[in-house]
């Protein structure tokens, strides 16, 4: 079937009643065809003289045949002689020449119906993606003198304050000005669980406010929002052809003219060797050859299969920059992963508390929180976010000592909060175990005496361990973890997750070196998963680069081939699964198309198949292949 329909960039619209007008020519042709066959069988005298029969079937042929004839002429004008339009025109005109009118009409009718089904399948696939992603509001409520004013979103400037009401979809990227709010992020990440966003944290276009009216400051213009980037990625993904698609298109251009030459041979060669030679018999067999030769099932169902895979991935929050990466994902056998932000949350959190004898956990944490209120350090923020314990009073006379910590007074007692160097500076004795702690540590002294410590570390993502197990189950032979964090911490995280090869204390250039080592094995197909700006060189070096897109840096997302919008490691497994499912569908379609065509070609050449079988081999198999491709969800 035709591959020249350009649906790219067409706005997604729900099917309307007017869309059924496209089916009217096929319906008219079908009714006239059935009427003609009935008259042939029940009242053949009605078609006397013969021109009446020809006129009837021409009336049945033209509604579906004329558009194809016009396309064939236009294709020939562009020097594309062996197009499917030419083949269909030649085969059906030939059928009329030998007075096989019903079969000539049937070939063109079923071809036209196949075209309509193809268009519907492609439009539905594109419409599903667009309905999922193209959710940008056209307007925004911009605050002007304290009053929200509805303004076209494209005219909103960076720095403007906009108001988002409950149920409203965020029109542009920005940062939250309200204390905190809950947002539905399903359009961006595929996750149904709302995400809580705190003050100053990023809010992305496409999110939906779920619990309260909030204000946000715009940080990116309308055309540069995260949602605009997603739309661009998905729309352009279909343009990046997979090797299978490219091969099939090249193959079709070669084998179609070969089959036409064979069809001519079927007509002429028997003239030399068959006695008696009946021209109409051999022309009929040649026409069968021509109908079967159309590579419709391959040319449309294979791209549709890849597009279905891209759409299925998009609904899971996985954005692929081309169908070719679906192919690469099926071959990946080595995965190299960054630690921070990929397998861990990328934010600090209190891990454990070790108060000294006579000091309760609540008092230790309360005193530390009272001091950390005066610090903006990420570690201080992590302590303040810990759900247990409140500050036990107000810290006064707080003095920050660079590279050590803070000294101040809480409830009349001198308090030291910082690292072990701070305690040594003020000659406060502490247990030897403090110096042996590998994690980031916050040590506290109250009234000149050691009071205990707490550790702050990055939290492993909930699905990280399961992801590693599933990757191994899928046949990934080697998983490597790289990190700029301390080697001891990196090794501990790796052991927790079940990763046997891990390297810490790495600079960006060290990560590149490790990736180059992984690629020295000629059998290795390497995927790298990362999120930071320092991961961009390694993402570019890998066979397929996968970026954490929700919190990842713009540089990593731009360099990557696959973007995981939900930041969940388990999406890596899902991406590989979708890649393999797409490959299965495409392979099934190739086998189905070639298998059936080969059988009917042989039967047609031997005179054992009619044009009806040829129609099935062409249009019928194409429809089956399209239905198979449409299974991608």
SS3 of residue 203 by DSSP: strand
C-alpha distance from residue 82 to each of 39, 294, 471, 497, 621 (Å):
36, 10, 46, 57, 20
Q: CA-CA distance, 196 to 184, in Å (whole number)?
A: 9
- Residue labelled with tokens 């099917």: 15
Q: CA-CA distance, 225 to 459, in Å (whole number)?
A: 29
3-state SS, one letter per residue, for 531-563: CCHHHHHHHHHCCEEEEECCCCCHHHHHHCCEE
Q: CA-CA distance, 3 to 301, in Å (whole number)?
A: 10
Which residue in 474, 473, 468 sits closest to 578, CA to CA? 474
Q: Which of 173, 338, 531, 567 is catalytic?
A: 338
- To the nearest 10°, report the CA torsion of 148, 151, 154, 157: -40
| Both structure tokens of 224 | 């540069």
| Under 8 Å between Cβ of 296 and 84 | yes
Q: CA-CA distance, 188 to 227, in Å (whole number)?
A: 7
Q: Does the annotation count 338 as an active-site position?
A: yes
Q: Which residues of 327-336 are buried (b: 16+ CB within 10 A; e: fewer)?
A: bbbbebbbbb
| Under 8 Å between Cβ of 528 and 541 | yes
- Answer left, alpha or beta for residue 397, where phi above 0 means left and psi between -120 and 50 means alpha: left
| Both structure tokens of 517 | 């080592």
| Under 8 Å between Cβ of 99 and 284 | no
DSSP code per residue over 65-119? HHHHHHHHHHHHHTT-TT-HHHHHHHHHHHHHHTT-HHHHHHHHHHHHHHHHHHH
Q: Which residues contact 375 (CB under 8 A, 6 or more apart)?
A: 400, 406
Neighbouring CB atoms inside 10 A of 627's CB total: 12
- Residue labelled with tokens 């605050």: 143
Beta strands in 235-294 (DSSP E): none
| Both structure tokens of 392 | 């036990």
Q: So which residues are the catalytic ones?
A: 338
């Amino acid at each position: 079937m035709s591959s020249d329909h350009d649906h790219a960039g067409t706005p997604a619209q729900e099917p309307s009643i007017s869309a059924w007008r496209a089916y009217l020519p096929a319906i008219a042709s079908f009714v006239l065809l059935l009427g003609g066959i009935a008259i042939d069988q029940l009242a053949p005298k009605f078609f006397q003289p013969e021109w009446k029969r020809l006129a009837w079937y021409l009336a049945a042929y033209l509604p579906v045949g004329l558009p194809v004839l016009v396309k064939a002429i236009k294709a020939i004008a562009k020097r594309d002689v062996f197009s499917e339009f030419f083949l269909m025109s030649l085969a059906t005109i030939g059928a009329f020449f030998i007075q096989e009118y019903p079969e000539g009409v049937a070939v063109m009718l079923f071809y036209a119906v196949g075209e309509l089904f193809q268009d519907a399948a492609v439009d539905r696939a594109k419409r599903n993606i667009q309905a999922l992603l193209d959710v940008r509001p056209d307007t925004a409520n911009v605050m002007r003198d304290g009053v929200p004013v509805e303004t076209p979103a494209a005219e909103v400037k960076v720095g403007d304050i906009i108001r988002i009401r409950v149920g409203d979809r965020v029109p542009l990227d920005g940062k939250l000005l309200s204390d905190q709010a809950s947002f539905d992020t399903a359009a961006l990440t595929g996750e149904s669980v709302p995400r809580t966003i705190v003050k100053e944290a990023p809010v992305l276009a496409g999110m939906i406010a779920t619990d309260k009216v909030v204000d946000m400051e715009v940080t990116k213009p309308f055309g540069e929002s995260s949602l605009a980037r997603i739309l661009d990625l998905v729309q352009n993904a279909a343009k990046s052809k997979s090797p299978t698609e490219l091969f099939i298109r090249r193959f079709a251009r070669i084998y179609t003219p070969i089959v036409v030459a064979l069809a001519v041979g079927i007509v002429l060669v028997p003239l030399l060797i068959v006695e008696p030679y009946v021209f109409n018999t051999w022309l009929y067999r040649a026409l069968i050859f021509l109908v079967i030769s159309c590579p419709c099932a391959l040319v449309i169902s294979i791209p549709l299969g890849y597009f279905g895979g891209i759409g299925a991935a998009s609904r899971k929050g996985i954005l692929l920059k081309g169908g070719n990466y679906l192919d690469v994902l099926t071959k990946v056998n080595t995965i190299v992963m960054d630690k921070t932000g990929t397998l861990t949350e990328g934010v600090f959190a209190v891990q454990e508390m070790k108060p000294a004898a006579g000091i309760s956990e609540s008092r230790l944490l309360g005193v530390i929180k009272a001091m950390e209120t005066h610090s903006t350090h990420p570690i201080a923020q992590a302590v303040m976010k810990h759900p247990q314990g409140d500050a036990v009073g107000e810290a006064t006379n707080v003095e920050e000592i660079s590279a050590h910590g803070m000294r101040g007074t809480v409830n009349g007692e001198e308090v030291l909060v910082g690292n072990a160097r701070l305690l040594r500076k003020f000659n406060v004795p502490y247990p030897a175990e403090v110096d042996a702690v590998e994690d980031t540590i916050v040590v506290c002294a109250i009234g000149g005496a050691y009071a205990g410590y707490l550790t702050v570390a990055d939290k492993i993502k909930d699905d990280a361990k399961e992801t590693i197990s599933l990757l191994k189950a899928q046949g990934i032979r080697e998983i490597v973890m790289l990190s700029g964090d301390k080697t001891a911490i990196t090794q501990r995280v790796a052991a927790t997750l079940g990763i046997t090869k891990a390297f810490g204390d790495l600079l960006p250039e060290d990560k590149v070196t490790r990736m180059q080592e992984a690629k020295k094995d000629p059998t290795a197909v390497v995927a790298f998963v990362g999120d930071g700006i320092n991961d961009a060189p390694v993402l570019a070096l890998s066979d397929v680069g996968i970026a954490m897109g929700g919190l990842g840096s713009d540089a990593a997302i731009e360099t990557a081939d696959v973007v995981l919008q939900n930041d969940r490691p388990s999406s890596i497994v899902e991406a590989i699964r979708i890649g393999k499912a797409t490959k299965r569908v495409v392979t099934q379609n190739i086998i189905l198309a070639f298998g059936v065509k080969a059988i009917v070609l042989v039967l047609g050449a031997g005179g054992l198949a009619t044009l009806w079988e040829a129609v099935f081999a062409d249009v019928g198999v194409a429809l089956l292949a399209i239905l198979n491709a449409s299974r991608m969800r």
